[in-house]
Structure 1
């Protein structure tokens, strides 16, 4: 669907040259929700603006749906941009226009007849959950409602690709989750390819299938979101994963808890993937003659399933504890590590 090869953007000032995007090569599949994450200055916002040529690349090639954007004339690009929607961090709404007039604006530019335009606007209002707010002005809307207008406007010309540049950064956590749920719904209903630019790993965790990590203008790591969480290779990636899962220092409290037990085993359970059994503790307690105490842990849900770690203490007869551990190892996808034998 999207193929990017050797993409580069150099900004030249009086005193120096700044390479914002540096020889970036990437493939994004059709219908995917693809996340690009990086800290401020990593080049991610410049990258997304290159995708629709709001910024002109210094070098490289961008192909979307078999059409090379970097080879298009100005007039050809104007038409092609209708197939690439974009939403922004600060909404970029027209403050003198109502909700319905903001959504209709790109349709007016495209020359759609009034009746067809009105029908399309109403369809989009229903899609993004703004029924009843058609005649409101942006100043009368909450942040989440403004972003819903931005999403509807970006979808007006039925694009094949939706670019989201820090689309939730100005929103509170509850509203962020609502907007992310909306993007997932739109992706499922329309089969739209979504490229989501962010500096927040929990956004990637919640809705993305694939993620690319940017640093100093380059892609330094890429893969399935679950794989990147499981095996982050670069230092910058590890820092992002810590945003969601915490650091090794967070496990220090477990060592103190271990010292309060004088029998049994301390077990670390590592949950991975869509077959991770969330009811495992209950099953173990019911099936085996052992006491099981949860000490500490965190499990988070991603698009591809659960990921996280749980520390537990198992107490009882040695053979029965061994049977419980064998059951977890053999019958579930949960990985087991005996951290300490307290006996």
Structure 2
């Protein structure tokens, strides 16, 4: 487990103290893919660099397994960092070295013998899907290939933890999805704990199990991804979710729907978890003397399951009974938009 308590970082800028990370507390379970999301300036990149002490904390503790990282001497820290891989936004590759030589670099520093080093490099090249490109230089690679090299290099010393600082923000959407699938595959194959720093809620939705939302150096909201997506508590979280789900556009559509469909009952039905895949509407029609007109709908997949929203119109003699039936289901939330 990664346990972070009271973590704080204060920078001095023009003789003024600037608090980049402020009393941050976080716990990440072994083998988890944990997302940290926030806008630019939220402190998330500083936070991830505090974990392996690329930045020295002003206060607080970071504990990984049984090692208190913040208490280690410089020599012990160098050893401990072999258990903490890091992937950077802009790759940070050595441009005069080939793919294989870049991946081998941390092994050279660790004093791994040449034969073992070459064997490990070939394993990692295969793992990240770069077979046949081992002799290429970074300038000959696409952005996605460069990041694969960065990931392989970060895995060279078989770390227990992988820190990803905006690892996909320099990539196009298709390549981003490929890198996310690679990280997910690595997590499953190696049991690696991954902390993923991003400003993109799409990235969180794709592969993370839990998420922390940062604002002004603090964690303002934290929980399972599906819970945070469906019930955001803070305004910054709501903003992130709206960017992904188009909630603002949905509200505009609802106003138009209320004007257009003035008969019966208009409902917004929110499906949580696996219930998004169930045939609840079909069951409703079978049990009650009603017609159901589906006006709008969207289902989204997350690592924690599916969630979605339907806006429906209920018409018929048993529309009130049907509405009550929906409200009694503990797997969904129902909001009455309009009752004629």
Matches within 5 A, 1:107-126: 107-126=107-126
Tell me the SS of whatever aligns to 1:27.
strand
Runs of 4+ in 1 over 4 A off after TM superposition: 278-291, 321-332
Aligned to 1:97: 97
Contact 1:277 1:332 in 2 (8 A): no
Aligned to 1:47: 47
**Residue-by-residue CA offset, 1:112-153 (whole Å, 9 max, x unaligned):** 122211211111111111122222211111111111111111
Per-residue deviation, 1:278: 5.2
Please give the TM-score of this superposition, normalised by the length of structure 1.
Answer: 0.91
Contact 2:290 2:317 in 1 (8 A): no
Aligned to 1:140: 140
Cα RMSD after superposing both structures = 2.1
Per-residue deviation, 1:285: 6.0
Q: Does 1:209 align with 2:219?
A: no
Q: Does 1:57 align with 2:61?
A: no
Per-residue deviation, 1:247: 3.1
Please give the TM-score of this superposition, normalised by the length of structure 2.
Answer: 0.92
Cα distance in 1 for partners of 2:287, 2:136 equals 59
Contact 1:85 1:163 in 2 (8 A): yes
- 5+ residue gaps, structure 1: none
Per-residue deviation, 1:308: 2.5
Tell me the SS of whatever aligns to 1:276.
helix
Tell me the SS of whatever aligns to 1:259.
helix
**Residue-by-residue CA offset, 1:156-208 (whole Å, 9 max, x unaligned):** 10000000000110011111111111111111111111011111112112211
Number of equivalences: 340
Structure 2 CA distance for partners of 1:23 and 1:279, relative to 1, 3 Å = same
Stretch deviating more after TM superposition (251-260 or 119-128) = 251-260
Contact 1:254 1:295 in 2 (8 A): no
Aligned to 2:317: 318
Matches within 5 A, 1:5-20: 5-20=5-20
Cα distance in 1 for partners of 2:278, 2:145 equals 35
Tell me the SS of whatever aligns to 1:170.
coil
